[in-house]
Every structure is written in C-alpha cells, then in structure tokens.
Amino acid sequence: MTAADLQRAIDLALAGDWAQAHEIVQQDEADPMAAWIHAVIHKIEGDRGNAGYWYRRAGRPAGNGRDPHDELRDIRAELLTG
C-alpha cells in the first residue's frame, strides 16, 4: 500500500466517508500504518472491540481518550515524515 493510498484513506475518514476509507485500508491488512488507520476508523464508528484488534495489529497503543480526528492527523504527519 502506498503512502498516497493511506493519505487518501485519512482524508476520506476526516471527511466522514468511513466506508470508503475502510475499503482502502482493508486492501493491505498486513501494513501497520493501514492497520492503525483501520483502528481509528473503527474507533470513530464506536466499535471499540474491533478498534482494539487493529491497534494490536498495528503495534500501537489503543489511543483511548484521544480524539480520533487528532489521531488521524498525527498519522498523516507520521506518513509525511516517513
């Protein structure tokens, strides 16, 4: 999965199109960054259990209490700095 694909998923999630963002990140379930975005999308949807699964797959802390939109912006920044 390319950084551009991940950026697109983030942009869609921030715009409220969780379904399309979800489709993008599901294309590469082994990619840790895709898994992290996947986790945040589930968090936005209110599916904490599934979010926890994807946080573990991403090797990231669950981000409890963090605003998911801020977290998506943090992911974007991390993608840009490589």
pLDDT given at position 74: 94
pLDDT at 1: 85
The model carries a pTM of: 0.93
Which residues, other chains included, contact 19 with Cβ-Cβ below 8 Å and sequence gap of 6+? none
pLDDT values of the chain reduced to their tens digit, one per residue, 82 residues:
899 999 999 999 999 998 999 999 999 989 999 999 999 999 998 999 999 999 999 999 987 788 999 999 999 999 988 7
What are the sequence ranges of the domains in the chain? 3-81
* Alpha-carbon gap, residue 2 to 8, rounded angstroms: 10
**Under a CB-based contact definition with an 8 Å cutoff, are residues 21 and 34 in contact?**
no
Class of domain 3-81: mainly alpha
pLDDT of the residue at 12: 96
